[in-house]
Structure 1
Amino acid sequence: MNPIAQSKDSSREKLLSLLASNAYRHGTFTLSSGKKSNHYVNCKPVTLSGFGLVLLSDLFLPHVEEDSIAVAGLTLGADPLVSGLAMAAAQQERTLNALIVRKEPKGHGTEAWIEGPLPPKGSVITVLEDVVTTGGSSLKAVSQISKAGYKVNRILAIVDRQEGAAMEIQKSGLLLISLFNLDELVQRAKDISS
């Protein structure tokens, strides 16, 4: 049972406030995509907090496809997401394993790209992402998962920076579902600071 006894709307509002307070910064930044931006979103202070991860997992779980038997994402941003979601699913007696996709293959042993309890080939896996800008990191994870013989239909993200990720992901035949967009985060940060 989820320890947070509240509506999904309340959970969403609390998570948005946590992100605005702890993950969002205004200034001059270079993003992982190489783009310059006045807005920086680092979700790790929220996703690595117990309360933030519980809220997030509770909000993500309904968006994971019913036939998905695993969630996966590119390390490092997705590591807490996949673990939290696997645990939230288990609390609801749903089997949903966590997989971590490496940025480069392991340099020794099996030289694996994907770590975790691997499902049977052909299984549906939902990809998780903290922040999407261009969609490049998400699509890299999808590529490795697909090469390993699994099917991906959707990507779940905490924040869509609204800089083309949705279009790129859609071009790849996938659905992007984001809990928040950058405009919402910026507005909440302004509301909190005023």
Structure 2
Amino acid sequence: MNEKRKALLDIVVAGGLTHFDEPVELASGELSRDFIDAKHALARGSDLRLACEVIADIAAEAGVSFDAVGGLTLGADQFAHGVAMVTGARWFVIRKQPKGRGTDKWVEGAALGPGVRVLLVDDVITTGGSIRLACERVRAEGAEVVLATTLVDRGDIAARYFDEAGVVYRPVFTYHDLAIVPVGG
């Protein structure tokens, strides 16, 4: 792990990882004594910039170039905007439900379509439900998902999904890095 990633890990652990005596319910419905609040951990602009630079580095290390970066709101928003700022790519977010008025779009920000290469991002993944939905929505728009990443992957389910889907998946950190018990099957 390079210096930049080590500094980011320290920020995530110090500012976003809480251990509870009793299990708490996660967005996935799974239970865990370890809770990761990535939004709180990266609330300072310089910390978010570091995280976005690391994500851009991961894409470069994987040999992947992308035109747009985003994912499902709210976990992807800060990374979509930040990675776009540090790389010059376009950003987008995917609504959980279409707006129901106006253009009634699922995707806000950059237009996605054939020929657009997408970096999918999320903050914390347990079972991968949000990022899988984002992948399906991006593909439904005709764009190609060339890489998926998350700040923290709490288990192994998302890696299996992306392997089966033929998408390169590189989490910034895993449960191993945070020394927490994995969640999910």
Superposed pair shares fold, TM > 0.5: yes
Contact 1:153 1:173 in 2 (8 A): no
Separation (CA, whole Å) in 2 of partners of 1:162 and 1:86: 27
Per-residue Cα deviation, 1:21-77 (whole angstroms, up to 9, x for no partner): 111111221111111111111100133321211111111112336441000111011
Aligned-pair CA distance for 1:120: 4.7
- Output the TM-score relative to the length of structure 1: 0.84
Contact 1:134 1:165 in 2 (8 A): yes
Specify the code of the residue in structure 2 equivalent to 1:16: L
Match of 1:37 among 20, 32, 38: 32
SS of 1:38 mapped into structure 2: strand
Hey, which bits of structure 1, 4+ residues long, moved more than 6 A? Answer: none
Q: Which residue does the alignment assign to 1:115?
A: 108
Match of 2:133 among 132, 137, 140: 140
Q: Which residue does the alignment assign to 2:86?
A: 88
Q: Which residue does the alignment assign to 2:3?
A: 10
Q: Which residue does the alignment assign to 1:19?
A: 12
SS of 1:77 mapped into structure 2: coil
Q: Which residue does the alignment assign to 1:60?
A: 55
Separation (CA, whole Å) in 2 of partners of 1:29 and 1:168: 25
Unaligned residue ranges in structure 1 (runs of 5+): 1-7, 91-95, 188-194
Unaligned residue ranges in structure 2 (runs of 5+): 181-185
Q: Which residue does the alignment assign to 1:154?
A: 147
Query: Does residue 105 of structure 1 match 2:132?
Result: no
Contact 2:72 2:93 in 1 (8 A): yes
Match of 1:184 among 165, 170, 177: 177
SS of 1:61 mapped into structure 2: helix
Contact 1:160 1:182 in 2 (8 A): yes
Say what the alpha-carbon RMSD is for the aligned residues. 1.7
For this pair of structures, how many residues does the alignment match? 175
- Output the TM-score relative to the length of structure 2: 0.88
Contact 2:64 2:147 in 1 (8 A): no
